[in-house]
Amino acid sequence: MERMQQVVGRARAAFNTGRCRSLEFRMQQLKALERMVQEKEQEILAAIKADLHKVVMSGPTAYIQEIVTVMVDLALTKSELPVWMAPRPMPKGLVEIRDKTYVCPEPLGVVLIIGTWNYPFLVVIQPLIGAIAAGNAAVVKPSEVSENTARLVADILPQYLDPELYPVVTGGVPETTALLTQRFDHILYTGNSRVGKIVMAAAARHLTPVTLELGGKSPCYIDKDCDLDVACRRITWGKYLNCGQTCIAPDYVLCDPSIQGKVVENIKATLLEFYGEDVKSSPDYERIINKHHFKRILGLLEGQKIAHGGETDEASCFIAPTILTDVSPESKVMEEEIFGPVLPILPVRSVDEAIEFINRREKPLALYVFSNNKKFIKRVVSETSSGGVVQNDVVMQFLLPTLPFGGVGNSGMGAYHGKHSFETFSHLRVYLIKDLKMEILNKFRYPPRTQKKVKLVLFVLLKLYDKGQARVILLALLGILAAVVAMLHFGSCLSA
Amino acid sequence: NPYEGLVSHLRRSWLSGRTRPLEYRVAQLEALGRFLDEKKDEILEATALDMGKPSFEAYFSEILLCKNELHDTLNNLAHWVKDEHVEKNLVTRLDSAFIRRDPYGVVLIIAPWNYPIHLFLVPLIGAIAAGNCAIVKPSEISNHTEKLVAETLSCYLDNDCYAVVTAGVEGTTRLLENKFDYIFFTGSPTVGKIVMQAAAEHLTPLTLELGGKNPCYVSDACDVQNVARRVAWGRFFNAGQTCIAPDYLLCSLEMQEKLMPALREAITEFFGPNPKDSPDFARIVGDKQFQRVQALLSSGRVAIGGQMDEEERYIAPTVLADVLPSDPAMQEEIFGPVLPIVVVTSMDDAIDFINARPRPLAIYAFSCDTKEVNEVLDRTSSGGFCGNDTLTHVTLTSLPFGGIG
């Protein structure tokens, strides 16, 4: 507790000096972060591999997932930051014609970033980019479950960034609990809904705003009318990426019973294409993070019809890519986010049934719909809710930094990536700047109130419900004004 | 759970998709406009009974500003609901990438008593415009307005999608046990924490509009009479019961001396020699609040005003001089017609004073020198900032209104 108080206290004192506010300082720290990622790339990849058995070289591996995503966000942030930081003038009315009205982003103060273990480097560094860009100090708490990455981040971050402003705190539940008793100006937490509630309740004690990047069961609905071959390949990629340990992995599939068999066949074929006959020896297939999750996922397979896969090896936390068919909505595998390489397929007989099925459950982080029929997709999307939607693909919404990434309901609140990180960690302060002159204009608002004053206030302040006419009238008036000015100008030219 | 039935009913309506089409939202918003037009006199009467709200003030804050928000929304909604396309990268070049603003579902709006119509209606406009269902919980302290809203709003809005719940502390606590998809709360920081805790149980996102002590810095370089008028207007509007009222003044000893006669003149100009007789000066909303504000008067010395009438819950427009940071008036948000003046030695002193305290909803700075205004602005943090005036930054519908910390 005392240690946390000291760390946070130091960060706050450092923030209060004002040194992290200037554009120059923020750019310098962002460039240092970039150098860190470039120079320590091998160490970072090695740590992630040790934690998750991720391969360094080809394919959608740790390199693309974690290093490239961070570099892209850094490049975007560095390039756009001066624009993001600038004051934003706001529209005025007649009354404010002489005044300045604008909103200006300013730092919140000391923010807390709590990471998780599945993309252990990415989920602490990507928010940190936004926190630095917005001019804050930030306490970084990587997940203890991905202990190699946590240790590495604690080691290298202070070598590149200002160690007082951006301290790294390592530890497990007791350390995180102690950290959460401190006051922060924003908390960004990535993890599960259960702990999300704990974080939000702790934040409530200090009225600290939070961004919660949680999870849930992201449904994947496949229409009869679609290119099943392509759809299944994309779903296979997204599902078994990182051994299913991705918050936006398609958690389960909904489809008509008549295509269930074909879906299974297509996925099986794709798995062979991706990982070969012996998945266990494929360099592209990861492992479950630890024994606890291994046992948890194993438990979800009980009593299920395994159409493919199901092989496991506890010693190496290996679970083969698995497909379950004819899954019952009440079974255990449908109760919690799977977060593993197990894909349940649930038959639904109609769009209505599918929509009702999805809406009966908590709002997911992502909704995936595959169909050639635009009307079909439009219906599913407009009658459900989710953090994000991808039509005819999976997972890709994560890779476009101009899209805000976040959930809704049980899958989270708030969003970040790119500019949205900057906005998350900023306070948009409102400014109205007047001068002390022209006091006579204020007379109409001061008491004593006469009918004349009331009428004047109404005239000046009341916005009309403009069904288009006001704009036309204004245009006409401007036109007349322009004509008058032109006439005077030419008149004076002629007489000169 | 006494409200489970109501919340489930609204949720069923929500799931039916009824509130989503633009035409529906516009129709409900137009109905709200009719509520403001047709119930104008009743609103003025109810708020007068609740806190002696002068009819001009009630008209201004409860009708006019609400209508501005309504018209601004109706004029722009078709544009606001459009999908926002984002810049794509090479990988997504052939795709369509956009942000769509979806309704949350069932929204809860909890309103306070000081601007009892405005502070539920403006959030409700947003909730309806965004396609949600909503439950409105007006304050039980402004009980005449609460009764009016409970009895009449249902005549205008779709009762399957919008409901009014009347409840005190216990009832509101039970209401908060239900799951909402968004909570909008206006009130004190203490209750704000309770609301957020309740929201955390269901991972409900929320907006908290709270309060604090809004400092008002007055530089030595300024037009004293104009400053006095603007500060007095902001402080004594609604008898000081405004979240963004200038809570206390920071100035030099010299300026304090200059401001006294100027403030006295402004008060007399506004409310006459006996403000109790003025139709333009409000009353404190309840006995509890009256006693609370009364206790704050033992701070510094009463330089102007100080007269009270407990039966009418009248407290005269009052200015306290030479107030110390340890005085009662400096320990909590005043929320009454009392303006303490705290003497500081310099602008730097004032800025340090402000920064040593929790970040307020608004900061005011008065100076003829723009550099000074800008310096206060740059070196402090607050929800909003207004240079050389008070309150007016919230009347612009284009400016977002909210706090920090």
What tens digit of pLDDT does each residue of B243-299 get?
999 999 999 999 999 999 999 999 999 999 999 999 999 999 999 999 999 999 999
Q: What is the DSSP string of A388-420?
A: EEEESSSSGGGG-TTS-B---GGGEE--BSHHH
pTM assigned to the model: 0.92
* pLDDT-wise least confident of A62-76, A127-141, A342-356: A62-76
Tokens 């006091």 sit at which residue?
A439
Closest to B207 measured CA to CA, from A210, A323, A316, A182:
A210
Residues 6+ apart with CB under 8 A from A121: A44, A47, A48, A66, A67, A70, A149, A153
Nearest chain B Cα distance for residue A432, angstroms? 5
Question: Given this model, what pLDDT does residue A56 score?
Answer: 43
d(Cα B108, Cα B360) in Å, to the nearest integer?
A: 25
Task: Indicate which of B20, B203, B242, B354 best probes the interface with A, i.e. most A CBs within 10 Å of its own CB.
Answer: B203
Task: Name chain A contacts of B208, Cβ cutoff 8 Å.
Answer: 207
Expressed in angstroms, the distance from the first to the final Cα of chain B is 33
**Displacement of CA B190 from its chain's centroid (Å):** 16
Query: Coil, helix or strand for B341?
Result: strand
Nearest chain B Cα distance for residue A383, angstroms? 7
| Known active-site residue A286 | no
d(Cα A349, Cα A357) in Å, to the nearest integer?
A: 11
d(Cα A150, Cα B266) in Å, to the nearest integer?
A: 63
Per-residue pLDDT tens digits for A63-83: 778 899 999 999 999 999 999
Average pLDDT, integer, range B177-198: 97
Under DSSP, the state recorded for A56 is: S
- Within the 55-84 window of chain B, which residues sit less than 8 Å (CB to CB) from chain A? 55-56, 59-60, 64, 67-68, 70-72, 74-75
d(Cα A361, Cα A348) in Å, to the nearest integer?
A: 15
Q: How many CB atoms lie within 10 A of CB A6?
A: 11
The partner residue sitting opposite A430, judged by closest CB among B72, B233, B399, is B399
Average pLDDT, integer, range A224-242: 95
User: Are A448 and B278 a contacting pair, CB within 8 Å?
Assistant: yes
How far CA B189 is from CA of A181, B193, B356, in Å, comes to: 18, 6, 18
B102-121 core/surface letters (b: 16 or more CB in 10 A; e: else): bbbbbbbbbbbbbbbbbbbb
Question: Given this model, what pLDDT does residue A58 score?
Answer: 39
What are the sequence ranges of the domains in chain B? 3-210, 215-395
Closest to A187 measured CA to CA, from A120, A114, A244, A237:
A114
Average pLDDT, integer, range B44-61: 94
d(Cα A384, Cα A254) in Å, to the nearest integer?
A: 14
pLDDT at A484 over 90: no
Q: What is the overall mean pLDDT for chain A?
A: 91
Q: With bands split at pLDDT 50, 70 and 90, how would you rate the model's confidence at A60?
A: very low
Question: Given this model, what pLDDT does residue A487 score?
Answer: 83
Q: Do domains B3-210 and B215-395 have the same CATH topology?
A: no
Catalytic residue, chosen from A213, A286, A337, A423, is A213
Of the ranges A33-37, A285-289, A392-396, the best mean pLDDT one? A33-37
**Are B86 and A400 within 8 A, CB to CB?**
yes
Percent of chain B clearing pLDDT 90 (strictly above): 94
Q: What is the DSSP string of A82-129?
A: HHHHS-EE----STTTTSEEEEEEEE-SEEEEE--SSSTTHHHHHHHH
**Are A446 and B229 within 8 A, CB to CB?**
yes
Q: Helices (DSSP H) in B241-323: which residue ranges?
A: 253-271, 287-295
The partner residue sitting opposite A404, judged by closest CB among B99, B196, B227, is B99
A319, containing H or E segment: strand A318-319
Q: What was the ipTM of the complex prediction?
A: 0.93
Average pLDDT, integer, range A408-417: 97
Task: Name chain B contacts of A205, Cβ cutoff 8 Å.
Answer: 193, 197
Closest to B234 measured CA to CA, from B267, B276, B189:
B267
Percent of chain A clearing pLDDT 70 (strictly above): 95
Q: With bands split at pLDDT 50, 70 and 90, how would you rate the model's confidence at A449?
A: confident
Question: Given this model, what pLDDT does residue A61 score?
Answer: 67
**Which residues of B are catalytically annotated?**
209, 243
Which amino acid, residue A346?
A: L
- From A457, which residue of chain B is nearest by alpha-carbon distance? B60
CA R_g for chain B: 23
| Known active-site residue A213 | yes
Task: Indicate which of B367, B388, B399, B401 best probes the interface with A, i.e. most A CBs within 10 Å of its own CB.
Answer: B399
Nearest chain A Cα distance for residue B113, angstroms? 22
Average pLDDT, integer, range A214-243: 96
User: Are A103 and A428 a contacting pair, CB within 8 Å?
Assistant: yes
- From B223, which residue of chain A is nearest by alpha-carbon distance? A436
Q: With bands split at pLDDT 50, 70 and 90, how would you rate the model's confidence at A210?
A: very high
- From A425, which residue of chain B is nearest by alpha-carbon distance? B404
**Are B104 and A408 within 8 A, CB to CB?**
yes
Average pLDDT, integer, range B129-150: 97
* pLDDT-wise least confident of A354-358, A397-401, B74-78: A397-401
A435, containing H or E segment: none
d(Cα B45, Cα A291) in Å, to the nearest integer?
A: 69
Question: Given this model, what pLDDT does residue A466 score?
Answer: 54
Q: How many CB atoms lie within 10 A of CB B343?
A: 18
Question: Given this model, what pLDDT does residue B237 score?
Answer: 94
Which amino acid, residue A89?
A: P
pLDDT at A95 over 70: yes
User: Are B132 and B182 a contacting pair, CB within 8 Å?
Assistant: yes
CATH number of B3-210: 3.40.605.10
- From A207, which residue of chain B is nearest by alpha-carbon distance? B193
Question: Given this model, what pLDDT does residue A54 score?
Answer: 56
Tokens 């009222």 sit at which residue?
B245
CATH number of B215-395: 3.40.309.10
B16/A contact by beta carbon, under 8 A: no
Which amino acid, residue A266?
A: N
Residues 6+ apart with CB under 8 A from A432: A96, A99, A100, A101, B384, B385, B386, B387, B389, B392, B393, B396, B399
